[in-house]
Amino acid sequence: MTHEGERVEALLAGLTPQEKAGQLTQYFYFTLPGEADPALGVDAGEQPREVEAALARGGAGALLFVTDPAEINRLQRLGIEGNRLGVPVLFGFDVIHGLRTIFPVPIAMAASWDLETIERGQAVAGREARAVGIHWTFAPMVDIARDPRWGRIIEGAGEDPFLGAAVAAAQVRGFQSGGIIAGPKHFAGYGAALGGRDYDEANISEYELWNTYLPPFRAAVEAGAGNIMTAYMDLNGVPASGSHWLLTKVLRDTWGFEGFVVSDANAVKNLETHGFAATPAEAASRGLLAGVDLEMAVSEPVYVHLPAAGIDDAVDVSVRRVLAAKQRLGLFDEPYVDEDRAREVLADPAHREAARVAARRSAVLLRNEGDLLPLDAGALGSIAVLGPLADSKRDTLGPWVFDFDLDETVTVLEGIRRAVGDGVRVEHARGVAVSQRTYPSMFDMFGGNRPEDPAGFDEEAEFARAVEVAAAADVAVVVAGEHQNMIGEAASRSSLELPGRQLELIQAVVATGTPTVLLVMNGRPLDLRWPAGHVPAILDIWYPGSQGGHAVADLLFGAHAPGGKLPFTWPRTVGQVPMFLGHTRSHEPQHQFKRYWDEESTPLFPFGHGLGYGRFTYDGLTVEPATAGPDDTVTVSVDVTNTGQRTSPEVVQLYLHQRHGRASRPVRELKGFERIELNPGETRRVSFTVGPRQRQYWHPAVRDWVLDAATFDVWAGGSSSATLTTTFEIREP
């Protein structure tokens, strides 16, 4: 046994059953502005006292939600002194898209299709987190999401398992290179919640589970993720947090995962709510035996029942995993954090620059009629910047951030002002009120989260003023979308419309005749049917993070070109949901596109769509060899040329379709991508390899991965609507 292993074993041997249960318990620790918060179901005043008492008796092996290094040190000391053997406390937190330096929201980062940028972003987040004393993040969220009503679509990489797997692995590498453990979540199937309603059950066929929902988790495990978080909901009738099949058979026995598993918040206790356990004690046993090593609890953890459960061997296995994680993090030697160094790391200007680059690369140019963008700042006398999101710092950051610095957050209005300087008049009008959510957000308790209109806001007068400002300007930039508290956890929506009177504002601005640019601030596709037919330029900027305003200005005025691509299919209307690329075909071909009589059956924008400031042509598509055996790898190559006038990025995409075989296969599946940048007139030959791993699929009757001998269609291009096509053949063995 290694020295490390011996240390863990010695500790394990010395712990009492109660202390072992403590090692398997993670408490939320928070102090909130208010006292009791009904939304939380716990007394926010009592909660810290309960946790400190647990720490003091060695009953809390891990905490979450503390981010202040001094506070982390204080609690760490309490924890270490509280248990006889001085086992350090593990601190976890939701570092989702940055800690102090806020990057674009995860769906935006995925839209960059730029794995280096994604990895770098999470490396920065990891570095900042570790500097303040956080050891582990509950991220990345790698749940495939095909229903934009589900608010948590914003936290993932969208609809596609191939892109999702690549993005998951890049994030794991990034976080862990920054010094913290990554915890991919929520295992598994959470994104398929019925009706997009958060926490509702998911019923996923085996075919979809293996081919669509599990691949990003597997990729995250292969990338070395040290932790996995379970999911709240029932998966095919069994709570994911109590599923031995998921947490042990698939995760450990099939994929060889060696890290520790944490439950989602209160999810072990809630096995009783599901009706999967009769008592809290039974919930504890069933959770642990299914494979949940560490219970995350808001309060009153059920793992206190473990010492009496008679499953000591299983408990030891879990404690060993948690101790091994602490050991690997170096906490036995260095449990405390250097507060001065934390301040330095958080202030690192290189982090801000990385966030600006990421925001630039995430933006997706959805439409650009007549090449309205980029704007020539030198030729403009005035710009109208309109909409309630245009100058909202909190919205610019997006949801799932807590430790941001509002002062240094750059809004679109500020970014534009800074970019054009004094020579151009920039006038701002909100135009419409902040449209509140119908129900309060569960994050409103954190203060500063809920959008407010300025005192005395008169929407009629402000609307009229906005239209006047637009009419008098050379160009109008409208920022529209959802407030950040309208999306995220517990923020599902039954509609995809622009909230409030924003569409009306866009229509009135366009009617002035002033050339109009729409900037969409969002984390889910919204109903843009009217703008997509009437607003010449539409740039999806997502929630772009602390440097968002600068990044947007970089793109608007052409210092850089946009190159992001949609990581989901953009439906026209909520009635088409779910709508995604990888569906199969049925019935005669002429009926394929006639699924609704009152709406097109095509999306508003296809998966992978996104324009640049260049023009890209694709030709010379080849597959070598054109006929191959089942275990062979073929190479697909294509020439990409920028025939436009400007240097521009492009994401070259490869799609496959298996024409026939033992199952119906999706009409098109993403199987390769590469983000490149080409100067005007430049051509690059881009190659992808397609091996058995890209061609295999999980077969529901065989109950295993299969490879068919078949003809494959291949497309290469700048979106899933690519037309350049060829084929290759896979022979029988």
Q: Of the two residues 264 and 391, which places its CB atom closer to ligand BGC in the complex?
A: 264
Q: Which residue is catalytic, options 143, 264, 391, 527?
A: 264
138 binds ligand BGC (CB under 6 A): yes
| DSSP-derived secondary structure letter, 103 | P
* Min dist. Cβ of residue 61 to ligand BGC (A): 16
Kindly give the residue spans of alpha helices, DSSP state H, lying in 210-338.
215-222, 244, 271-274, 280-290, 312-328
* Least distance in angstroms from the C-beta of 729 to ligand BGC: 45
Q: Is 264 a catalytic site residue?
A: yes
Q: What is the DSSP letter of 733?
A: -
Total number of residues that touch ligand BGC (CB under 6 A): 6
Minimum CB distance to ligand BGC smaller for 443 or for 728 = 443
Q: Which is nearer to ligand BGC, 142 or 686 (CB)?
A: 142
What is the number of the residue whose Cβ is closest to ligand BGC? 138
265 binds ligand BGC (CB under 6 A): yes
Compute the least distance from the CB of residue 400 to ligand BGC, in Å. 9
Question: Considering beta carbons, is residue 297 or 539 the nearer one to ligand BGC?
Answer: 297
| Kind and range of the H or E run holding 665 | none
Tokens of 366: 């959805």
Near ligand BGC in 664-723, by CB under 6 A: none
Min separation Cβ 490 and ligand BGC, Å: 8
| Nearer to ligand BGC among residue 210 and residue 443 (C-beta) | 443
Q: Compute the least distance from the CB of residue 464 to ligand BGC, in Å.
A: 43
CA–CA gap between residue 366 and residue 146 (Å, rounded): 20
The CA distance from 33 to 376, in Å, is 47
> Site mask, ligand BGC, residues 167-186, x = CB under 6 A?
------------------x-
* Interface with ligand BGC, residue 272, by CB under 6 A: no
Minimum distance between the CB of residue 138 and ligand BGC, rounded to whole angstroms?
A: 3
Shortest Å distance, C-beta 681 to ligand BGC: 47
Indicate whether 123 belongs to the interface with ligand BGC (CB under 6 A): no
* 8 Å CB contact between 562 and 647: no
Least distance to ligand BGC, CB of residue 683, Å: 45
Q: Which of 37, 94, 650, 669 binds ligand BGC (CB under 6 A)?
A: 94
Q: How far is CA 439 from CA 152, 212, 492, 493, in A?
A: 17, 33, 11, 11
**Of 624, 618, 622, 616, whose CA–CA distance to 681 is shortest?**
616
Q: Hunting for tokens 């069994």 — which residue is that?
A: 238
Question: Rounded to whole angstroms, how far apart are CA atoms 616 and 633?
Answer: 28
Does 489 bind ligand BGC (CB under 6 A)? Our answer is yes
Shorter beta-carbon distance to ligand BGC: residue 94 or 114: 94
Which residues, in sequence order, are bridge partners of residue 204?
none
What residues contact 193, with CB distance under 8 A and at least 6 apart? Answer: 147, 150, 199, 200, 201, 202, 233, 492
CA pseudo-torsion sign 35, 36, 40, 45: positive
CB atoms within 10 A of CB 305: 17
Is residue 264 at the binding interface for ligand BGC, with CB under 6 A as the rule? Answer: yes
Helix (H) and strand (E) counts for the chain? 22, 28
Regarding 403 and contact with ligand BGC (CB under 6 A), the answer is no
Instruction: Quote the CA–CA distance of 73 and 89 in Å, as a whole number.
Output: 10
CB nearer ligand BGC, residue 99 or residue 503: 99
- The SS3 call for residue 273 is helix
Tokens of 404: 């941001």
Site membership for ligand BGC, residue 234 (CB under 6 A):
no
Contacts of 109 (CB under 8 A, 6+ apart): 97, 103, 117, 118, 121, 157, 167, 358, 362
Residues that bind ligand BGC (CB under 6 A): 94, 138, 185, 264-265, 489
Return the active site residues. 264
